[in-house]
Amino acid sequence: MMIGNLEPEEKVMESTPMNFTVYSRQGCPYCVKVVQVLQLAELKHVVYELDRDFDREGFYGQFGRGSTFPQVVLNGENLGGCTETVKYLQENSLV
Q: For the segment 11-35, what is each residue's pLDDT rounded down to a tens digit?
A: 444 566 889 999 999 999 999 999 9
What is the mean predicted confidence (pLDDT) over 78-94? 96
Distances (CA, A) of 62 to 16, 76, 77, 80: 24, 11, 11, 12
Q: What is the pLDDT of residue 7?
A: 47
- Distance, in Å, from the CA atom of 26 to the CA atom of 80, rounded to the nearest integer, reads 18
Q: What is the pLDDT of residue 11?
A: 47
Q: What is the pLDDT of residue 95?
A: 86
Q: What is the pLDDT of residue 15?
A: 60
Q: For the segment 32-60, what is each residue's pLDDT rounded down to a tens digit?
A: 999 999 999 999 999 999 999 999 999 99
Cβ count near 82 (within 10 Å): 23
Q: What is the pLDDT of residue 26?
A: 97
Domains and CATH numbers, the chain: 18-91 (3.40.30.10)
